[in-house]
Amino acid sequence: MLIHKRITLMSLLAIAASVNICSETNAAPVGMILDTDFRSDVDDVGALALLNALADNGECELLGVVASQTGPYVIGAINAVNTWYGRGDVPVGLSPVDDQRFPDHYAPEIGNPENYPSSQSNETAPDSTALYRRLLHEALDKSVVIVVIGSQTCIHLLLKSMRDFEGDGSVHRTGRDLIESKVSKLVIMGGNFVDSEQREHNINLDQEAARTVAEQWPTPIVYSGFEMGRSVLTGGAMTDPKLNPVARAYELFPAGGVGTIASTSSYDQTAVYYAVRGVEAEGIALWELSEPGLVAFPEAKTRFTPDPSGTHQHFIARASNEEVAEVIERLMIQEPKR
């Protein structure tokens, strides 16, 4: 039965690949800003690859990337992946809050321009708040989706930013003003909606930021919980690590032992996929969204309270982990258009 389902899903995806998804609605591709703790877990690299593939398909526009993890090679590493996809000019901002709490498995290798082409570095990167504000100021109203796949430090700083921050041109607008007018939705990989006693990693990275964003963020928020991507295993089909920095990152990550490209959890890819395509893969429901409610994070634990007037929702699984992995990995290994 699973084989039959997977063949059917592959057929649908093959059909979808030949169709310009945006042509059905004649809508402009959604503008995406990715906020990532790129450098520790490798799913951030897979998520950036997936987002670039969706941009190649004309389904979104990658406006910018924000690095919430610091470390000397993080900007170069992000830029190397974007350059691999022909988007080396996409700006990458760096958090002003130094955070190097976790091992740096791959950024020193793929962020070194002697190994993979890149043109940006920590030294040239704009402050994360300055970049957020500039990109939002330049965007059309309600045209931007922000996806956070690490700590919420940088969006917290954006939310609290005052007028005239770094002379970005939005002289009469606070960060909250810009968010209200320019952002349509915030998607966060964080929380655990099946085990309310777990202190989920991304929430625990900056508990104050997670609590403040949940309480004060002025647009709808959709959470992809820890449980959504844990058993969705992708990355093992990556090839050509000598040329492809995404494949090299998976080769360096110790999921199957350093030096072996192996599949690992896809926490972040679930959030990125949903932010662009929603809950379906050509009519097949990968997830559904919960009823509206309010999310809170006391001591980094997840609390969801149903409320018809609430602006928060979270993922509920519908397809099998294998089916979700197939959809995600097909995009991760899609050949760049450049």
Residue 67, in any domain of the structure: yes
At 109, which CATH number?
A: 3.90.245.10
**Do the beta carbons of residue 45 and residue 333 sit within 8 Å?**
no
Residue range(s) defining the domain that contains residue 302 = 2-332
- Give 199's strand partners: 301
Residue 148 located in a structural domain: yes
* Nearest Cα to Cα of residue 260 among 244, 236, 276: 236
Query: Per the domain annotation, does 337 fall within a domain?
Result: no
- Closest by CA position to 210, among listed 145, 97, 302: 302
Taking alpha carbons only, the member of 325, 291, 283, 321 closest to residue 50 is 325
The answer to whether position 338 is within a domain reads no
> In whole angstroms, what is the distance from residue 212 CA to residue 201 CA?
17
pLDDT digits (tens, 9 = 90+) for 115-164: 999 999 999 999 999 999 999 999 999 999 999 999 999 999 999 999 87
pLDDT of residue 282: 85
The C-alpha atoms of residue 34 and residue 53 are separated, in whole angstroms, by 14
- Judge whether 252 lies within some domain: yes
Count the neighbouring beta carbons within 10 Å of the beta carbon of residue 327.
25
Q: What is the pLDDT of residue 27?
A: 66
Whether 16 is in a domain gets the answer yes
Contact 59/65 with Cβ under 8 angstroms?
Answer: no
**What pLDDT is stored for residue 41 in this prediction?**
96
Quick one: how far is CA 167 from the chain centroid? Answer: 27
Instruction: Return the bridge partners of 314, or none.
Output: 223
CA distance 248 to 260: 9
pLDDT at 1: 44
The span from the CA of 151 to the CA of 140, in Å, is 26
Instruction: Please tell me the total count of domains within the chain.
Output: 1
State residue 334's pLDDT score. Answer: 98
Q: Low-confidence residues of the chain, pLDDT below 50?
A: 1-7, 10-25
The residues, any chain, with a CB within 8 Å of residue 65's CB and separated by 6 or more, are 33, 34, 35, 36, 48, 78, 82, 90, 91, 92, 93
Q: Report the alpha-carbon angle 203-208-210, nearest 5.
A: 40
Maximum pairwise Cα distance, the chain? 59
